[in-house]
Amino acid sequence: MADLKQQLTTYQVWDKSVRIFHWFNVLCVLALIAVGTAILNAKGLGVSTDGKVLLKSVHVYIGYVFAINLAWRLAWGFIGNRYARWSAIIPFNAQHRAQLSAMMMGAKSGTPVGFLGHNPIARLMVALLLLLLSMQAITGLILAGTDVYMPPFGNTIKEWVAVDSSTVESIKPYSKEGVDAEAYKEMRDFRKPIITTHYYVFFVLLAAIFLHLLAVVMTEIKEKNGIVSAMFTGKKVFVDKPFDADL
């Protein structure tokens, strides 16, 4: 055991910005799932109209934090350290192909290859998760305007459905006061594909999160490189030199 500890080398991988994003994202997604599930089951839970408006408003406020945090991570992909950059995340580029080849050769030879950043399989999952999260953020911000008339599109939606400019300010969620019935129907028709996308991506995201967590646990047990603790400390440990240590 002492010899093994002496052979371990610690590497700094995830910078502070990535780690903060990760845990803020976890908290936001958990909160959005909880409130979103309550909204989906509002009728069965006996939630009143005012209660539903409150739930949707809370969902939107959490969504703002989620979207800002996600936008920062997307931007950080251009300016963060080399493990945080898009070149180390997006699959199917030259770097990813080289990593995948090394991973497959290591598996065939019985000498697994370690990676400081995301391994080739994880890159596929991280890219998928960021895509799904982005889709939820975009569709969610649009829906915030169509349902409870909240920013960034709420006022535009109000102007769309208002009888005239004098009734815009009087329009409230789930109220027909000042609303033109035909314009409101047009708005709801516009909304349908957006809410359908938001609804189904929600379930795809749940499945992807489950697979992500399962893969993280399995990798931690198999490789023991500190993949979980690295999201707290930023550091991973290896006995053998990782494939991407000198890239």
Q: Check residue 6 and give its pLDDT.
A: 55
Would you say residue 5 has pLDDT above 90? no
pLDDT higher than 80, residue 247: no
Q: List all residues 6 or more positions away from 26 whose beta carbon is below 8 Å from its beta carbon.
A: none
> Looking at the predicted structure, is the pLDDT value of residue 1 above 70?
no
Going from the C-alpha of 79 to that of each of 75, 82, 83, 85, the distances in angstroms are 7, 9, 11, 7
The dihedral through the CA atoms of 202, 85, 89, 18 has a sign that is: negative
Give dist(CA 140, CA 70) in Å, integer. 13
Give the N- to C-terminal CA distance of the chain in Å, as an integer.
30
- What average pLDDT does the chain have? 93
Give CA torsion, residues 211, 244, 221, 91, to 10 deg: 10
The predicted model gives 190-195 an average pLDDT of 97
What tens digit of pLDDT does each residue of 221-236 get?
Answer: 988 899 999 999 999 9
Question: What pTM, to 2 d.p., does this model score?
Answer: 0.92
Query: What are the domain boundaries of the chain?
Result: 11-107+117-238
Give 113 or 60, the one with higher predicted confidence.
Answer: 60
Q: Which amino acid is at 221?
A: I
Fold of 11-107+117-238: Fumarate Reductase Cytochrome B subunit (1.20.950)
Q: What is the pLDDT of residue 61?
A: 98
Report residue 48 as tokens: 């009143």
pLDDT per residue as tens digits for the range 56-75: 999 999 999 999 999 999 99
